[in-house]
Amino acid sequence: MFRKVLIANRGEIALRVIRACRELGVGTVAVHSEADAASLHVRFADESVCIGPSDPAQSYRNIPNILSAAEITGADAVHPGYGFLAENSYFADVCESAGIKFIGPLPECISLMGDKAKARDLMAKNGVPIIPGSEGIITNVEEGFEVARKIGYPVIIKAVAGGGGRGMRVVHEEPAFSDAFHAAQSEAGSAFGNDGVYLEKFFIEPRHIEIQVLADDKGKMIYFPERDCSIQRRHQKLVEESPSPVVDDRLRRELGRAATAAVTASHYVNAGTVEFLLDRDHNFYFIEMNTRIQVEHPISECVTGIDLIKEQIKIAAGKPLALKQSQVKLNGHSFECRVNAESPETFTPCPGKISAFHVPGGPGIRVDSASYMGSVITPYYDSLVAKLIVHAGTRDEAISKMNGALTEFVIEGIDTSLPLHKKIFNDPSFIKGRFSTTFLDHFLADLKK
């Protein structure tokens, strides 16, 4: 096992990794920016190093400073968390070159999945269903016209380096294609330094379903029951649940088979997530693979009892995966609310000092947060204040538990998304499990009426 893990992150996920290390008897090194000196991850790690100013480019994304901190403290592994350097193949590569284990997949795997057109191509070749679209990237408008005519409008133009919804354009008819194509190309070029785009048939009201996987470096792997992440606004997820209210055992096994095929095809190691779109007829299609631990991982932990972060660390340390697929049993239902510091009207981040903080409790209630009374949500980083996670025997019981927990959660001094979460958990369509990725936009439009 590792002696000491450096956590190249902040906030709740840094704290989550510190807790997992502690349980494994592994030492921890926190790194922090100047803005985060009073943060809980600094307080609860065994050691800490200041790695630069508040601007994440100069601290949490500063590779030389993070590697120096690892060398000074003698850390033998780095956990990247999510965001920042988590999907930076160069970072994973230089960690390995410096003799520090990167807790995640190999750099080659990160860059392969970072190219959405290459990932799509690999899946198609390995029997994972993909959405009808282009083979590889589209280099000019004429080529785009041809593919779009073949698959039929509406189509969606996506950046190969995108993901999470950035650099996408939906085109409903041919006259709009040319402008959208050039706009997508130039947006992708300036956002990602890569102007490659590809084409897919646009699905109107899909559900966003994802499968968590764990794979060791000996070829063993397991998949988890699906997460439904359809409740989002502008690609920011607000509520996630596992299992999905529309997936049955048979579909769950098919999704698992597709996810494990994706792992095998890419020689994937460590924790990853395979994303699918699910259409009205419950056909599913691969969209992308995330090569990091995700924000919503706790709901998968709740319904299986498996600690994903501990498994990540053990896999990176070269231990064989001790879990068999038959030991991954779906138990009950779990929801997560991402409680953000944001204005209820504009959804813009609302930084400030938390003047009162009371977290709900009781059986089946979990709060992953690095906030406390007196802590400050700064404008430098994401505006996540807490993840409120519930687990109960059935979906209805979990909804009821979430409603109680939302009522008890007190956060004062800043505006948060808690009032919106309460409204969602009282919406009849949501309660019935009837929603798609467009649910929240319609819901918010109706609220304004």
Residue 82 CA to residue 152 CA, distance in Å, equals: 36
Residue 428 CA to residue 443 CA, distance in Å, equals: 11
- Which entry of 61, 292, 366, 395 is annotated as an active-site residue? 292
Alpha carbon separation from 120 to 181, 262, 282, 354 (Å, rounded): 19, 10, 20, 44
By beta-carbon proximity to ligand MV4, the closer residue of 57 and 445 is 445
Does the footprint of ligand MV4 cover residue 232 (CB under 6 A)?
yes
Does the footprint of ligand MV4 cover residue 211 (CB under 6 A)?
no
CB of 428 to ligand MV4, least distance (A): 22
Does the footprint of ligand MV4 cover residue 131 (CB under 6 A)?
yes
Q: Counting every residue, how long is the chain?
A: 449
Do residues 100 and 31 make contact, with C-beta atoms less than 8 angstroms apart?
no
Residue 371 CA to residue 353 CA, distance in Å, equals: 10
Q: What does the per-residue mask of binding to ligand MV4 show for 248-277, with x meaning CB under 6 A?
A: ---------------------------x-x
Does the footprint of ligand MV4 cover residue 287 (CB under 6 A)?
yes
By beta-carbon proximity to ligand MV4, the closer residue of 76 and 210 is 210
Question: Which residue matches tokens 């009207």?
Answer: 345
Does the footprint of ligand MV4 cover residue 423 (CB under 6 A)?
no
Alpha helices in 168-248 (DSSP H): 177-192
Q: Quick check: helix, strand or coil at residue 277?
A: strand
Query: In degrees rounded to 5, what are phi and psi of residue 293?
Result: -75, 145
Does the footprint of ligand MV4 cover residue 239 (CB under 6 A)?
no
The interface region with ligand MV4, picked from 63-71, 81-89, 195-203, 297-305 by CB under 6 A, is: 195-203
Q: Quick check: helix, strand or coil at residue 221?
A: strand
Number of H helices and number of E strands within the chain? 15, 21
Residue 395 catalytic?
Answer: no
The interface region with ligand MV4, picked from 14-22, 52-60, 68-76, 159-167 by CB under 6 A, is: 159-167
CB of 185 to ligand MV4, least distance (A): 18
CB of 372 to ligand MV4, least distance (A): 33
- With CB under 6 A as the contact rule, the residue among 129, 165, 318, 344 that binds ligand MV4 is 165
Residue 93 CA to residue 315 CA, distance in Å, equals: 18
Alpha carbon separation from 336 to 155, 255, 421, 423 (Å, rounded): 32, 21, 10, 15
Residue 350 CA to residue 342 CA, distance in Å, equals: 4
By beta-carbon proximity to ligand MV4, the closer residue of 185 and 273 is 273
By beta-carbon proximity to ligand MV4, the closer residue of 277 and 302 is 277
Chain mean position to CA 378? 21
By beta-carbon proximity to ligand MV4, the closer residue of 132 and 219 is 132
Q: What does the per-residue mask of binding to ligand MV4 show for 5-34, with x meaning CB under 6 A?
A: ------------------------------
Radius of gyration of the chain (CA): 21
Does the footprint of ligand MV4 cover residue 127 (CB under 6 A)?
no
By beta-carbon proximity to ligand MV4, the closer residue of 199 and 399 is 199
Do residues 359 and 386 make contact, with C-beta atoms less than 8 angstroms apart?
yes
By beta-carbon proximity to ligand MV4, the closer residue of 222 and 277 is 277
Does the footprint of ligand MV4 cover residue 288 (CB under 6 A)?
yes
Does the footprint of ligand MV4 cover residue 208 (CB under 6 A)?
yes
Closest CA to 286 of 436, 447, 161, 129: 129
| Size, binding site for ligand MV4 by CB under 6 A | 18
The residues binding ligand MV4 (CB under 6 A) are 131, 156, 163-165, 200-203, 206, 208, 232, 235, 275, 277, 287-288, 437
Active site residues: 292
